[in-house]
């Protein structure tokens, strides 16, 4: 398996360490990617096996050019990996990225992704010079839409028809967008 790139930073927030993934995270990652119920509004199918999750992680870590980067979200007090946050589809010329987020069901509703999302937005805008951050979210995914709004995203469009193919079915998504300067840094 490829090793985690050194150049991606770690963000330490009040309760979280948002850090690059490493090979030893494979098992914890499968808890996230293997949970079909938690992934019911996700853009790809749940992972059917730990082996498939490991392969996917290897692909993520080795992907070049690095327009897809994922971070592990670790709870500081338990040192447990509880979620992941990523950017993907980075468009260098247009200074734009998409973001995605996922956290274990028992860790939801504690403000963790708000915290991780704020840290990622700061990195994207302040360090990488990103101008526009977008998130594609299924209309039914109220928790994700609420999180996006809490971070400062606005609903910009949709339903965008047949954007995701999941479980053999096409799904529409809504487009949320945030322009640098619109991010909410605290609640
Ligand atoms: C979408 C998702 C990542 C949100 O993560 P989360 O960590 O539960 O989000 P948060 O805890 O930051 O915010 C959720 C709630 O916590 C509450 N909260 C509690 N304490 C908080 C705190 N200290 N700070 C911020 N919010 C807090 C918020 O008020 C919010 O409630 P509300 O939505 O009723 O207003 C999570 O639901 C998830 O993993 N879903 C499954 C995967 C998925 O669909 N991902 C998105 C695909 S587009």
pLDDT-above-70 percentage for the chain = 94
Q: What is the mean pLDDT of the chain?
A: 93
Q: Which tokens sit at 98?
A: 């998409």
Q: How far is the CA of 59 from the centre of ligand 1 (A)?
A: 27
Instruction: Verify whether ligand 1 is closer than 6 Å to residue 105 (CB atom).
Output: no
For each of the domains in the chain, give its residue range(s) and CATH number, in order of start. 11-179 (3.40.630.30)
* Segment 18-32 mean pLDDT: 93
* Contact of 124 with 130, CB cutoff 8 Å: yes
159 vs 69 pLDDT, higher one: 159
Is residue 104 lining ligand 1, measured as CB closer than 6 Å?
Answer: no
CA of 143 relative to ligand 1 center, distance in Å: 6
- For residues 46 and 78, is the Cβ–Cβ distance under 8 A? no
Q: State both tokens at 76.
A: 């500081």
| Predicted confidence (pLDDT) per residue in 131-140, tens digit | 999 999 999 9
Contact 50, 34 (CB under 8 A): yes
Higher pLDDT, 20 or 64: 20
Higher pLDDT, 60 or 116: 116
Q: How far is residue 160's CA from residue 57's CA, in Å, rounded to a whole number?
A: 28
Q: Please state the atom number of ligand 1 nearest to the C-alpha of residue 117.
A: 12
Residue whose CA is at the smallest distance from ligand 1 atom 27: 111
pLDDT exceeds 90 at position 3: no
Q: Is the CB of 103 under 6 A from ligand 1?
A: yes
How confident is the model over 34-62, as pLDDT tens digits?
A: 999 999 999 999 999 999 999 988 887 77
187 has a pLDDT exceeding 60? no
Q: How far, in Å, from the CA of 62 to the mean position of ligand 1? A: 29
Closest C-alpha among 152, 134, 175, 15 to residue 83: 15
Above 50 in pLDDT, residue 145?
yes
**Alpha-carbon torsion 53, 78, 17, 186, what sign?**
positive
Q: Which two tokens stand for residue 11?
A: 């963000």
Q: What is the pLDDT of residue 6?
A: 53
Where residue 2 falls among pLDDT bands split at 50, 70, 90?
Answer: very low
Compute the distance between CA of residue 63 and CA of residue 90 in angstroms, rounded to an integer. 12
Q: Is there an atom of ligand 1 within 6 Å of 112 CB?
A: yes
In this model, does residue 1 exceed pLDDT 50?
no
Residue 164: half-sphere exposure toward Cβ, Cα within 13 Å: 18
Q: Phi, psi at residue 71, to the nearest 5°?
A: -115, 145
Owner of token pair 């499968």: 30
């Amino acid at each position: 398996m490829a090793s985690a790139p050194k150049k991606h930073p770690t963000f330490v927030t009040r309760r979280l360490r948002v850090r690059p993934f490493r090979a030893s995270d494979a098992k914890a990652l499968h808890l996230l990617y293997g949970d079909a119920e938690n992934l019911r509004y996700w853009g790809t199918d749940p992972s059917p096996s730990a082996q498939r999750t490991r392969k996917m992680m290897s692909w993520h870590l080795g992907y070049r050019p690095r327009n897809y980067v994922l971070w592990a979200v670790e709870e500081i007090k338990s040192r447990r990996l509880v979620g992941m946050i990523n950017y993907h589809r980075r468009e260098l010329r247009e200074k734009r990225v998409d973001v995605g987020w996922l956290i274990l069901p028992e860790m939801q509703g504690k403000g963790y992704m708000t915290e991780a999302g704020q840290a990622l937005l700061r990195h994207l805008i302040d360090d990488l010079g990103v101008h526009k951050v977008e998130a594609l979210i299924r209309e039914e995914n109220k928790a994700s839409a609420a999180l996006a709004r809490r971070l400062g995203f606005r609903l910009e469009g949709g339903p965008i028809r047949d954007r995701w193919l999941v479980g053999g079915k096409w799904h529409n998504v809504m487009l949320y967008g945030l322009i640098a300067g619109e991010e909410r840094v605290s609640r």
